[in-house]
């Protein structure tokens, strides 16, 4: 057995999957064989969530049932809502949503049941309730009354209503829906691998998703969409963008929203999200962000030959929708629950405990001497 260390598991294939395929050679991403760009243009997020979870696009009757289940399951218990309202206002919303999913596990009647049927039911409940938890903290932190879910509205429309009390223009809702489709699934990234690792000990779905949320929070993963926005806010004006990025690169800083472990010549999700970002900016009459966007993208390509990843257009898009910056990654959570749940179910279906080896570099074997004990 080779004891060569593969830091970050770089280049290691750890399992098989039928959920999504990332093809860096052709900058492509498919969910269950369908190109993500086509799914964005031709489907709603609910249809894609069904596809990711079930393996096929839904027939009309299947979609109707799925939508009805999602709408029926949106409410959180009074206890969890009260807990969210009482959480420290200074807490990061990612920590709140991580705790909320953990709390859901305390109440769920199927928490410890890992059968495929129970797992699908739990996936639906976590999928439907998480937006309610995110919106509840968003409003509680602003000292505003919680808005109940509205079962007449689609997933994305309902989220806007619970956040702001109203549903915006349909193009804004579509841009949000597209971001959810693009964030839904991305093979063995760190949070998904975390979920699969937790599952591999035959632990439960709530625990696996709680762990995955903690992993997604990091700025090298989902937390990048939030970090991108802090960068845009620091730059403020397009006139300052070139000097800012040149200076940051001279100081060898890592620029958030750029680079990717798998895609080396462009993230397949960026062109679609960029198109919707530009549309939203036009609708809300913001010229600054698109200009800053183009300048940073150009300089990163010229100087480093590094392309943006999907977090780069998502950050400013959410900001233009009126969403607080630290809520961007919790929104990513809402979408990725579909991918995580599908991977958890796939892991259960063909499980093998995940347990890699390490190369020991500590002290040589030594004896405990009485003298050493104080
Ligand atoms: N800004 C500046 N330089 C970057 C960079 C970035 N965003 N991403 C990669 N690089 C540079 C590295 O410094 C390194 O340069 P070096 O060879 O001179 O040391 C080189 O490109 C290779 O990068 P590396 O860190 O080895 O790639 P990785 O696969 O380990 O990292 C990321 C991938 C995503 C962690 C990395 O690109 C990054 O930190 N990006 C910013 C965070 C982000 O947007 N994350 C969301 C990912 S979807």
Mean pLDDT of 339-356: 98
Confidence bin at 373 (pLDDT 50/70/90): low
Domain 17-218+329-349 fold is Citrate Synthase; domain 1 (1.10.580)
**Distances from the Cα of 125 to the Cα of 71, 72, 194, 275, angstroms:** 10, 9, 21, 32
What is the chain's mean pLDDT, rounded?
96
In the sheet that holds 28-31, the strands lie side by side as 20-23, 28-31, 34-35
Quick one: pLDDT band at residue 26, thresholds 50, 70, 90? confident
CA of 189 to the centre of ligand 1 (A): 15
Q: Specify the pLDDT at position 198.
A: 98
- 239: which 2 tokens? 């006139």
Please say whether the beta carbons of 70 and 127 come within 8 A: yes
What is the atom index within ligand 1 of the atom nearest the CA of 261?
Answer: 29
The token pair that represents 71 in the structure block? 């709408």
Contact 327, 134 (CB under 8 A): yes
**Would you say residue 296 has pLDDT above 80?**
yes
Q: What integer is the mean pLDDT of 126-142?
A: 98
Model confidence over 155-174: pLDDT tens digits? Answer: 999 999 999 999 999 999 99
CA of 258 to the centre of ligand 1 (A): 7
Residue owning the nearest CA to atom 29 of ligand 1:
261
> From ligand 1's centre to the CA of 256, what distance in Å?
9
Residue 101 exposed, middle or buried by CB count within 10 Å (0-12, 13-18, 19+)? buried
- Whether residue 270 is predicted with pLDDT greater than 90 in this model: the reply is yes
Distance 259 CA to ligand 1 centre (A): 5
pLDDT band at 24 (very low <50, low <70, confident <90, very high): confident
Q: Give me the residue spans of the domains in the chain.
A: 17-218+329-349, 224-320
Probe residue for ligand 1, chosen from 230, 244, 259 as the CB with the greatest number of ligand atoms within 8 Å? 259
Whether the per-residue pLDDT at 13 is higher than 80: the answer is: yes
Contact assessment for residue 216 and residue 329, using Cβ atoms and an 8 Å cutoff: yes
**Torsion angle, alpha carbons of 259, 262, 264, 268, to 10:** -90
Assign 3 a pLDDT band (cuts: 50, 70, 90): confident
Q: State how far the Cα of 203 lies from the Cα of 195, in Å rounded to an integer.
A: 10
* Per-residue pLDDT tens digits for 33-67: 999 999 999 999 999 999 999 999 999 999 999 99
How is residue 365 written in tokens?
A: 């074997």
Say whether pLDDT at 374 is over 60: no
318: phi then psi, degrees, rounded to nearest 5: -65, -40
Judge whether 320 and 179 are in contact, CB under 8 Å. no
Share of the chain above pLDDT 90, in %: 94
**Structure tokens that stand for 68 in this block:** 């009805």
Nearest CA to ligand 1 atom 18: 252
Active site residues: 221, 260, 311
| Beta-carbon contacts of residue 250 (< 8 Å; ≥ 6 apart) | none
Yes or no: say if 239 and 296 are a contact pair by the CB < 8 Å rule.
Answer: no
Q: Give the strand pairing for 34-35 and 28-31.
A: antiparallel
Q: Which of 206-215, 221-230, 293-302, 314-323 has the lowest mean pLDDT?
A: 221-230
Tokens of 292: 């800053």
| Integer Cα distance of 39 and 136 in angstroms | 30
- Within 6 Å (CB) of ligand 1, which residues are found? 220-221, 224, 254-261, 304, 306, 309, 311
| Protein residue closest via CA to atom 30 of ligand 1 | 261
Long-range contacts (CB closer than 8 Å, 24 or more residues apart) made by 105-111: 105/204, 105/206, 105/207, 105/210, 107/77, 107/79, 107/80, 108/206, 111/204, 111/205, 111/206
Residue 260 CA: which ligand 1 atom is closest? 34
pTM for the model stands at 0.95
Domain 224-320 falls under CATH 1.10.230.10: yes
Closest residue to atom 31 of ligand 1, CA basis:
261
**Per-residue pLDDT reduced to its tens digit, 74-113:** 999 999 999 999 999 999 999 999 999 999 999 999 999 9
Ligand 1, atom 36: closest residue by C-alpha:
259
3-class state of residue 212 by DSSP? helix
Distance from residue 59's CA to the centre of ligand 1 (Å): 41
Burial class (CB in 10 A: 0-12, 13-18, 19+), 356: exposed
């Amino acid at each position: 057995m080779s004891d060569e260390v593969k830091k970050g598991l770089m280049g290691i294939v750890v399992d098989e999957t039928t959920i999504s395929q990332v093809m860096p050679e052709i900058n492509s991403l498919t969910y269950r064989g369908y190109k993500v760009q086509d799914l964005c243009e031709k489907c709603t997020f609910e249809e894609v969530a069904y596809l990711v979870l079930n393996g096929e696009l839904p027939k009309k009757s299947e979609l109707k049932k799925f939508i009805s289940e999602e709408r029926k399951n949106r409410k959180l218990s009074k206890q969890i809502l009260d807990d969210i309202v009482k959480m420290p206002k200074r807490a990061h919303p990612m920590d709140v949503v991580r705790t909320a999913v953990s709390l859901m596990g305390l109440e769920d009647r199927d928490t410890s049941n890992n059968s495929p049927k129970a797992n699908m039911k739990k996936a639906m409940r976590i999928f439907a309730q998480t937006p309610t938890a995110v919106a509840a903290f968003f409003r509680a932190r602003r000292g505003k009354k919680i808005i109940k879910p509205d079962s007449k509205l689609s997933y994305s429309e309902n989220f806007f209503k619970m956040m702001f009390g109203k549903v915006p223009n349909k193009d804004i809702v579509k841009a949000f829906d597209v971001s959810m489709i693009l964030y839904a699934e991305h093979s063995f990234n760190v949070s998904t691998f975390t979920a699969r690792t937790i599952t591999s000990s035959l632990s439960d779905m709530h625990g696996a998703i709680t762990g995955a949320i903690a992993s997604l929070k990091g700025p090298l993963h989902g937390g990048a969409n939030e970090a991108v926005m802090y960068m845009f806010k620091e730059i403020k004006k397009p006139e300052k963008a070139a000097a800012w990025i040149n200076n940051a690169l001279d100081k060898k800083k890592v620029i958030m929203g750029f680079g990717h472990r798998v895609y080396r010549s462009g993230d397949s999700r960026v062109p679609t999200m960029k198109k919707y970002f530009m549309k939203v900016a036009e609708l809300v009459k913001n010229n600054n962000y698109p200009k800053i966007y183009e300048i940073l993208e150009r300089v990163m390509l010229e100087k480093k030959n590094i392309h943006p990843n999907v977090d780069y257009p998502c950050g400013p898009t959410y900001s233009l929708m009126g969403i607080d910056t630290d809520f961007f990654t919790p929104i990513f959570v809402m979408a990725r629950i579909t991918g995580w749940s599908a991977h958890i179910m796939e892991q259960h279906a063909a499980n093998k405990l995940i347990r890699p080896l390490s190369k020991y570099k500590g002290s040589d074997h030594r004896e405990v001497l009485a003298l050493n004990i104080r």
